[in-house]
Amino acid sequence: MRRQNVTANQSTGSRLARVIVQGLWMLLPVLSLSFLAFVPAVQVWWRARTTGWLITALVLTLCTAGVVTGMALDGDGAGFGALLIGTGLGGLVAAVAGREIVFDYEAHVDPAVRAVLDSRERRRHAREIVAHDVQMAVELGIGRPDLAGEFDDGGMIDVNNVRAADLVRHLGWRQAVADSFVRDRDRRHGYASFTELMAMSGVDVNLLERDAERLVLLPHQDRDRELE
C-alpha cells in the first residue's frame, strides 16, 4: 500500500510539473514582454514543419525584431504600444494552439513515419545484441525471418544464413543474384565482415550499400546441422 501511495504521489507530482512547465511555456511571450514571443512558434514549426507554422514563426520573429528595435530607440506612442501588445498576444495564441504539437509530439507523428522510426529503433537494439552477445542473437533468431521467432528485430537480415528466397522476399534481390550468392556463401562458410562480403561475394556493391542498414553477419551454420 505504501509503495502504491509513493507511486501515486510521484505520478501526481509529475503531472503537476508538466502542467507548470507547459503553462510557463505558453506564457513566455507575455512574461518576456514580447521579447521571446517568437520562441514557441519556432518550436512548433520545428516539430510540425508546415507552411502555416513557418509563416507564423516568421511573422512573430519580425514583430519581435520590431519590438526590440523600438525598445532600443526608446520608441513610444500608440503604434509601438500596439506592436508590443499584438506581438505578445500573437505569441500567446500561437503557443496555445501549438502546445500539443510540442509536448505531445508522438500523437501527431504520421503512423507510417512512426512505423519506420520504430523499426529503426528495433534494428538498433538488435545490433547491440549482436555486438555484445552473439549466442543470444542466434537464439533469438535475429536476421532470420525464416525462423519466425518471437523477437522483433525490425527486419534485419542475416546474410550469412538466410535462404535465397528470403533475400528475394525481404530485400528485393533478383532470384538469380540471390541463388548465386547463397551457393558461394555456403561454399566458403559465410563471411567474416562486411568488407569481406563486399569484396568477395560477387554481389553489386551498390546493392549491398543500399541494404546495409538491415544486414547483419552472424556465424554461418551448416544447413544439415541447422535442421537437426
The pLDDT value recorded for residue 2 is: 45
Sign of CA dihedral 43, 48, 54, 56: negative
Residue 51 CA to its chain's centroid (Å): 22
Q: How confident is the model at residue 136 (pLDDT cuts 50, 70, 90)?
A: very high
Could you report the per-residue pLDDT of 152-195, keeping only the tens digit for each?
Answer: 999 999 999 999 999 999 999 999 999 999 999 999 999 999 99
Rounded CA separation 42/49 (Å):
10
pLDDT tens across 90-124, in order?
999 999 999 988 887 655 567 787 788 889 999 99
**Of 12 and 96, more confident:** 96
* Residue 75 predicted with pLDDT over 80: no
Whose grid coordinates read 541463388?
A: 179
pLDDT given for residue 16 in this prediction: 86
What pLDDT is attached to residue 11?
A: 64
